[in-house]
Amino acid sequence: MKTRKIGKTELKVTEISFGAAALGGLYRACPRELAMETLEAAWASNIRYFDVAPWYGLGLAERHVGDFLRAKPENEYVLSTKVGRLLRPVPTGTVPDYGYVDPLSFDADYDYSYDGIMRSVDFSYARLGLNRIDILYVHDIGVYTHGAARNAIHLKNFLESGIKALEQLKSSGAIKAFGLGVNEVPVCLDVMRNADIDVILMAGRYTLLDRSAVADLLPLCRKKGTSLVVGGVFNSGILATGPVPGSHFDYMPATPDVLAKVGAMEDIAKRHGVPLAAPALQFPLRDAAVSSVLIGTAKASSLERNMELFEPALPDTIFPEFDPLTLVAPPLGEDAVRV
């Protein structure tokens, strides 16, 4: 599989990466056997970049990913995890309902400080059972998660304290890159105007349907040499299923406007003889600022189906047909850098 560089670093990642949220039991249990089967399918598909987080299953996904990668040659994969939440043990049966089925018996507290980030990294090493983490993402900082007032406190703490931990870890060689792992554009702009970061893992904001990242974030990424890893390319599933009853967009039931736009997109895809999921998966990699598209599932069969949609590459002429149907931001202009 082709690789692309992360920012200005020498680190290269596969164009398709594996996101391990589902391995934490998101919405349905993910026992070890299922996790190993899915991860092995990703490896067999030549995916060599794996992303995880302490939040996923309250440590469970890190356990699964670490167990898997320990059996693989350490020079053949790239691993990222996240900081910003510290896990603490709680009595069995008292874990709050965060949407994870059978998580580990921990709860999480936000901490974007220097000490909090350093402690989080140490805890992740222990859960992973690995001696190397390549990329660290600051997880879920922003108004989307915290609200405006609380986020102002967290952002100040990160910019004045936490980022020093990441810079120190990178300069010492403990990590190769760092950035943000978020669902919103504004916090990326806030951080990038005050600090240099290598990469942003952005979920759902640079997709066939939602172009929120186009107007401001992509130009700033190009200017500063910051890469994007794009997750959430199906926008909570609707770009995979089409406008079927019960479809979701952005974790919520799809509105009539969204259903209509996706229906029109599906018609375009059908005219070209492909499922809508194919252009949805291939779209982000058309921009040179994007280093990888992240796909996440707990089913080997689902992963294999998604991989089939990346080849053959769709013709460039199909993508402008979707532009008038986007929900947010204008279509890409002449400043776009194509690959």
Tokens of 246: 């019960």
Overall size of the chain counted in residues: 339
Query: Is 110 marked active-site?
Result: no
Query: Is 114 marked active-site?
Result: no
Beta carbons of 47 and 1 less than 8 angstroms apart:
yes
Residue whose C-alpha is closest to residue 138's, from 107, 175, 104: 175
d(CA 118, CA 301): 37
Cβ within 8 Å of residue 327, ≥6 positions away: 209, 210, 211, 257, 258, 261
d(CA 107, CA 89): 6
Query: Is 51 marked active-site?
Result: yes
DSSP 156-203: HHIIIIIHHHHHHHHHTTS-SEEEEEES-SHHHHHHHTTS--SEEEEE
Residue whose C-alpha is closest to residue 285's, from 226, 214, 206: 206
Instruction: Please identify which of the residues 49, 51, 190, 287 carries the catalytic annotation.
Output: 51
Instruction: Please identify which of the residues 56, 77, 100, 110 carries the catalytic annotation.
Output: 56
Cβ within 8 Å of residue 257, ≥6 positions away: 327
Instruction: Please identify which of the residues 49, 77, 82, 140 carries the catalytic annotation.
Output: 82
CA atoms within 13 A on the CB side of 88: 5
Beta carbons of 88 and 109 less than 8 angstroms apart:
yes
d(CA 178, CA 199): 6
Residues annotated as part of the active site: 51, 56, 82
